[in-house]
Amino acid sequence: MNLADLNTVALAMVTPGKGILAADESSGTIKKRFDAIKVESTEETRRDYREMLFRSQEAMSRYISGVILYDETIWQNARDGTPLIKLIEQAGAIPGIKVDEGTQPLPNCPGELVTAGLDKLAERLKKYYERGARFAKWRAVIDIGKTIPTMTAISVNAHALARYAALCQAAQIVPIVEPEVLMDGDHDIDRCYEVTERVLNKTFQEMRVQRVALEGMILKPNMAISGKKSSTQASVEEVAQKTIRLLKACVPAAVPGIAFLSGGQSDQEATAHLDAMNRIGGLPWRLTFSYGRALQAAPQQAWAGKAANVAAGQQAFVHRARMNALASKGEWKPDLEQKAA
């Protein structure tokens, strides 16, 4: 492991004013997205859609530091034969790859999940590195309910995240460590805070045990936020203040950066929360975005599977990327959204 090189890549992933495009939707997830815009999900339509994003020169070169790819995408070529991964590199962004293989039920823990994919991961990472991937992503899913999460679910998922991170660094690939506490329930922000604190503390404990070099990784956490079904929705300021307090309590200063997931927030909510956190200032790590739906929902709607709409789709992508790039510097304003509308 060359830690200096890993650190260089990790810092580039959180370059001020840039963030990470999560374009790693599984075939099942992107089918749901395409169903919503009445586009058939085929290998060709998925390729065309992602090619549209990666050829959006303004967004990719000015606002995107890296792209998380799905296994199918990393091997695909654009319509003119150029490997999609090359389009990302040509724009000055870093290609990355989702390496987990989804979730499965956790034995003896009803309603809880564990992420699969550690088997043969070392061999897969070698192939991805040869293809050009310089970072990877693994997502653990923690749900909140009346009797969950159990410590079993937190421990098993934290252990897997740390194993994955250690394997990535051995393969000279920067791991994005993503322990996601879901916002699907009716819990309030304080319950989210408490669960996320337990999850982050256990994850960093496991990474210390497994000798993961913190300078060569990126954390991709959820924000401290109210559940979607909660009767009390926290304000933007409360989300920002409590998320920063949580991170200061749990995340070592050695971590180069934190790239938040959007987790089902609306486009503008995700942007506003990131902006409010960056306005607080005085933080030991860089804060940016690693959004999927919050960057892509608008481009998908504008594109709608039609070649004639590619320019409109790219313009929508540029706008969302720019808004989040501003938020990553604490420079976003709501009226910027209205001007573009």
Encode pLDDT of 100-144 as tens digits.
999 999 999 999 999 999 999 999 999 999 999 999 999 999 999
Task: Express each pLDDT in 183-205 by its tens digit.
Answer: 999 999 999 999 999 999 999 99
Beta pairing class for 94-98 and 135-142: parallel
Segment 242-248 shows an average pLDDT of 98
Distance CA 172, CA 6 (A): 7
Q: What is the pLDDT of residue 191?
A: 98
First to last CA, the chain: 47
Neighbour-count burial for 216-249, b at 16+ CB within 10 Å, e otherwise: bbbbbbbbbbbbeebeeebeeebbbbbbbebbee
For residue 339, the model assigns a pLDDT of: 60
Give CA–CA dist 66/255, Å, rounded: 18
Is pTM beyond 0.75? Reply is yes
Q: What is the mean pLDDT of residues 7-33?
A: 97
Query: 190 to each of 187, 194, 227, 239, how far by Cα in Å?
Result: 8, 6, 10, 10
Which residues does the annotation mark as catalytic? 220
Q: Which residues touch 186 (CB under 8 Å, ≥6 apart)?
A: 227, 229, 230, 231
pLDDT tops 90 at residue 341 = no
What's at 306, amino acid-wise? K
Instruction: Give the CATH number for residue 46.
Output: 3.20.20.70
| Averaged pLDDT score across all residues of the chain | 97
pLDDT in tens, 286-325: 999 999 999 999 999 999 999 999 999 999 999 999 999 9
Domain boundaries, position 264: 3-340
Domain count, the chain: 1
